[in-house]
Amino acid sequence: MSAYLQLGCAVFFNVASYLVYRSIADAIPRIWWPVFAIGLMFGAANTFLFARSIKAIPLSVAYPVFTGASFAVITVAAALAFHECLPPVHLLGIGLVMTGIVLVTR
């Protein structure tokens, strides 16, 4: 698996783990722990894939791409899944982050 594909999968699992955590924020205490365990597994997959990707991608590139892409995708996913507010300034910020990712990876 290519390093950038591993990095992309790490972003996916990072986003998935935070969406899982957000989904249990208001859960009934007796049933939240199995879902939380799934979030932990997503987090473990995220960490494993990120660690593998930085073997081939410089950390000075991988970390900004990982955090920027995670921020952008989590923001949009939370707006879609949880009907959180997505004002135009957030969209502008996502655009700037994506521009930064393009510039960092060149």
CA atoms within 13 A on the CB side of 50: 22
> Mean pLDDT over residues 72-90, rounded?
94
Q: What angle do CA 5, 39, 50 make, to 5 degrees?
A: 30
Helices (H), ranges, the chain: 3-23, 32-53, 59-82, 88-104
Q: What's the pTM value of the predicted model, to 2 decimals?
A: 0.89
Q: Please determine, for residue 105, whether its predicted confidence score (pLDDT) is greater than 90.
A: no
What is the model's pLDDT at position 98?
92
